[in-house]
Amino acid sequence: MKEMTREWIKKAEEDFGVAGRELKANTGAYNVICYHSHQSEVRYPNGDAYESMAKKVYALAEKIRKIVMKKLDI
């Protein structure tokens, strides 16, 4: 794996971690959670690693959607 690819994967995983921690902390910072979830998805390279991360990002996005809908009483 190229060094640049490793760097992007590291950044993607950091963003994913931030989104997950904010979600678990229940701070209500949905814009931060959404931003870091999106950044993680965008930064992760294509290929097998992308598929694995995409599933995690989708699951996190689904949790965020449910929380936001509940908070907005939709």
DSSP for 3-46 reads HHHHHHHHHHHHHHHHHHHHHHHT---HHHHHHHHHHHHHHSPS
The structural domain count of the chain equals 1
Supply φ then ψ for residue 12, to 5 degrees: -60, -45
Q: Tens digits of per-residue pLDDT, 12-64?
A: 899 999 999 998 898 888 889 889 988 888 887 655 566 677 777 778 888 88
| Structural domain containing residue 8 | 3-71
Q: What's the CA gap between 22 and 8, in Å, rounded?
A: 21
What is the pTM assigned to this prediction? 0.62
